[in-house]
Chains A and B, each alone.
Chain A
Amino acid sequence: MATTAVDQTHGGPGPSVPAPPRPRRRSRSRLALRNTLIGWSFILPNFLGFGLLTLIPVLALFYLSFTSWNVFGAAEWVGLENFQRLLGDGSYHTALFNTLYYGVFHIPLTLVSSLGLALLLNRRLRGVAFFRTVAFLPYITSIVAIAAVWNMLFSPEFGPINQFLGALGVQNPPGWTTSADWSMPAVIIVSVWRDMGYYMLLFLAGLQTVPGELYEAARVDGAGAWSRFRNVTLPCLRPTTFFVTVLLTIGSFKIFDLILVMTDGGPGQSTLVLSQYIFDKGFVESQYGYSSAVAVSLFAICLTVTIFQFVWNKRRDA
């Protein structure tokens, strides 16, 4: 391939080009036009579907959050009414708190466990294909089965988990999914267990971009495993880590199906999260406009956190 030419070029499009004389400026704008056309030609096939079926409905959602739409009929403009209502809505505050509670634990725990799995299973190990498949199995197992089994494991009286804790001498084992205090930790445990295989896969792909020579060099320098991880793996993995963190943050704040089948938001409102609140308001109570406003607030939270991550990532890059 074109590898012979590699060493002849340095870096990308140079910002160090001196101010070009007039005739070349025209050719430069032609180059910009050409780039725009080429860029769009790459994006367009995907954008046709994305724009029509995702972007436009999402923009519609933003519009609807300022209306009192009830799914049927016309959407009446109500200005900021829905958003003002959010401020005084106790259930919304509960859902918001629970979503953040879930995210604060789910995101770091999943990040660490999936990275750990990926590092463990990224070697020439006998049976590695089997172990990788096992790690991924929770993600492909039917969510209904997952909810049924874990609820059973968590069962306060008959569940193996509490029997085990009892054997260890724990006096008052938690009520897990049947207790308002312990239902969220139970949900977090299950979702970390379920998601770690998924993110492990993304990390595995990212680990393949770490040049083997760097490890060799580090090894020759006498670097230990931890030091190799700190100084070689992590820096090379940064684009993947960034991607996984953004994805995980968004996925975590949007958590819906697992909670729905495991606790349905209960007991009480102890595991009610924003996504379920959006669904309930929209589909059960047909307050679609209000439900859209909740969705917009969820979007704003995700965006804020993501932008923080962007900035952080840029700073580390610099």
Chain B
Amino acid sequence: MKRTIPAVGLAAALALTLTACGGDTTDETPSTGDGGTTEEMGDEPVTLSLAGWSLSTTPEFQALADAFNEEHPNVTVELAEYSAGDDYDTQMIADLAGGTAPDIYVQKNLRNFYTYADGQQLLDVSDVAAGLDPATGGVDFYEMDGASYAVPYRQDAWLLFYNKDLFAEAGIDEPDGSWTWDDYVDTAKELSDELDAKGTYQHSWQSVVQGFALAQSEGAALDTGDYSWLAPYYERSLDLQESGAQESFGTVTTNSLSYQAQFGTQEAAMLPMGSWYVATLIAQQESGEADEFEWGMAPIPQADASTTGTDATPVTFGDPTGLGINPAIDEDKISAAKEFLSFAAGEGGADALAGIGITPALLSDTVVDTYFALDGVPTDDLSAFAFSTHDTRPENPVSETTAVVQNILGDAHSAIMSESDSIEDALAEASDRAANEAGIG
């Protein structure tokens, strides 16, 4: 690499330190195939550091660490605590830049994965990925240029939660797995007419509309610069809020409504949401924060009838949560770290996660059994089907332009939903910006 160093003393000196620091990690060639899973791990004690967030309320990291330590008593996994939300990535980027990041860190979603992988802050773990059960969801999402840089241990998928009591009260048939989005909208309107509550609650996140559109529309992609496939999904969402079957976007954002309260206190009869909500809802019903009512899970409505029904595989979306290795890790810890990755993404990790109500990336029959044996999880057939059968597409397909495009589409989302802009104008502007800011189209 060629760099011109300007004659400005101080700035140049600092630039050198900067590059030197970054260089610590880039100089190390990511080690390839020969280590890891196939190699026998020694018995000498090893301590690995693992990044996690909000440890007191997020037990999954400790669960993985404990389960792994049981199988490998010589390896201790120490947790390093980070903040939740987007702050996690802010802190992790700083730590990687400063050389103080832990050995193993979590890829919270696919949106930032490109940043880490492209910035050479992830070790090549293709060998671990190759050794995983083929049924593991989302393994190939972490591939870049033919190599894997992280493995998924958790894979939430979006489902339709519904309140059985409210459906009964309104005298309307519960979902049966055959719904398209039009059926969903019609039912939401009927429910609102019959009940004091709203028919459904769609939270203000852009993914609630865009995630499904991207996953279910023919030929939809973020990096084409054409976003017309979003239009039918926005028409339905606007229809819902204009007909009063759903709180308006303005009301949701200005009143900081939370989906847990809206669904949990029976303000809305349906809720499209990620499978992580199962554990929260059970806990809130137990603590009394949420009302006592019967609820179930249905497959998310589909674009058309071709993927509906319990003999088909419904298409939904969800980013996996993955684990990757910091290239600055000590050479002699790499095999233990890789062992941890294959454990977490494998049957052992999946069982430990399912036991605390988390959806693992590997949904084998025993794992599903463990999950549905938990107290409070609805046991009807449709819920079981919805939970375990789906074709889950990534919300943020890995690409250089994904982060930029998602920012652009996020602006389009708030412009459309607040009715500041027409669907057509907002999507056209998004295309223009994608061309201008990401060089797409």
Q: How far is the CA of A70 from the CA of B25 in the complex (A)?
A: 14
How many angstroms from the CA of A102 to the CA of B378 in the assembled complex?
A: 51
Question: Using a Cβ–Cβ cut-off of 8 Å, how many residues does chain A contribute to the interface with B?
Answer: 50
B85-119 toward A: CB 8 Å interface, digit per residue (1/0)?
Answer: 01001100100110000000000000010010011
Known interface pairs A73-B26, A269-B411; A152-B90 also in contact (CB < 8 Å): no
The answer to whether A90 and B411 touch (CB under 8 A), given A71-B97, A178-B249, A267-B418, is no
- The CA of A158 and the CA of B254, in the complex, are separated in Å by 10
Q: Is the CB of B11 within 8 A of A268?
A: no
8 Å CB contact of B3 from A74, A90, A284: A74
Q: Are A77 and B3 in contact (CB under 8 A)?
A: yes
Once bound together, how far apart are the Cα atoms of A267 and B417, in whole Å?
9
In the assembled complex, the Cα of A53 lies from the Cα of B89 at a distance in Å of: 23
A270 proximal to B (CB < 8 A): yes
Among the 9-residue stretches A57-65, A126-134, A238-246, the one with 4 or more Cβ atoms under 8 Å from chain B is: A57-65
Chain B residue at minimum C-beta to C-beta distance from A272: B411
Q: Is the CB of A151 within 8 A of B255?
A: yes
Within 8 A of B (CB), among A269-317: 269-270, 272, 280, 283-286
**A72 and B120 form a contact (CB under 8 A):** yes
Chain B residues with CB under 8 Å of A268's CB are: 411-412, 414-415, 418, 420-421, 426
**Chain A residues whose CB sits within 8 angstroms of the CB of B118 once the complex forms:** 70
B437 interfacial by beta-carbon distance below 8 Å = yes
Is B436's beta carbon under 8 Å from chain A?
yes
B19 (CB) vs chain A CBs: closest residue? A74
B-chain residues with CB within 8 Å of residue A71 when the two chains form the complex: 93, 96-97, 115, 119
Which residues 70-84 in A have Cβ within 8 Å of B in the complex?
70-77
A56 to B249, CA, bound (A): 45
Chain B interface residue count, CB cutoff 8 Å, equals 52
Interface check B210, CB cutoff 8 A: no
Which residues from chain B contact A266 at a C-beta distance below 8 Å? 411, 414-415, 418
The minimal Cβ–Cβ distance linking A63 to chain B, given in whole angstroms, is: 4
Taking CB atoms, residues of chain B closer than 8 Å to A76 are: 1, 3
Q: Tell me the smallest distance from the CB of A267 to a CB of chain B, in Å.
A: 4
Known contacts A155-B254, A175-B418, A285-B404; decide if A72 and B121 are in contact (CB<8 Å): yes
Partner of B250, one of A63, A156, A283: A156
Cα A152 to Cα B6 with chains together (Å): 53
- Does B57 sit within 8 A of A, measured CB to CB? no
- Residues of chain A within 8 A (CB-CB) of B248 are 157
- Residue-wise, chain B 1-39 has the 8 Å CB interface mask toward A (1 for contact) of 101101010111011001100110110000000000000
A213 within 8 Å of B (CB atoms): no
Q: Which residues of B contact A270 (CB under 8 A)?
A: 420
Identity of the chain A residue whose Cβ is nearest the Cβ of B26 in the assembled complex = A73
Q: Is B228 an interface residue (CB 8 A)?
A: no
Indicate which residue in A56, A70, A267, A280 contacts B414 across the interface (CB closer than 8 Å). Answer: A267
Which B residues are in CB contact (< 8 Å) with A69?
A: 18
Q: Tell yes or no: B54 within 8 A of A by CB.
A: no
Residues of chain A with a CB closer than 8 A to B22's CB: 72-75
Q: A103 at the A/B interface (Cβ < 8 Å)? A: no
User: A150: nearest residue on chain B (CB-CB)?
Assistant: B254
Residues of B close to A175: CB separation below 8 A? 250, 418
Let me know if A159 is at the binding interface, CB within 8 A: yes
CB distance from A217 to the nearest CB of B (A): 53
Task: Please indicate the chain A residues that have their CB under 8 angstroms from the CB of B26 in the complex.
Answer: 72-74
A197 within 8 A of B: no
Chain A residues within 8 Å of B251, by CB: 155-158
A-B contact pairs, 21 of them (CB 8 A): A59-B14, A63-B8, A72-B26, A74-B3, A74-B19, A75-B19, A89-B437, A151-B255, A151-B256, A152-B256, A156-B250, A156-B254, A157-B248, A177-B254, A178-B250, A179-B418, A181-B420, A267-B417, A267-B418, A268-B412, A284-B112
Chain A contacts to B: CB under 8 angstroms = 56-57, 59-60, 62-64, 67, 69-77, 88-91, 148, 151-152, 154-159, 175-181, 264-270, 272, 280, 283-286
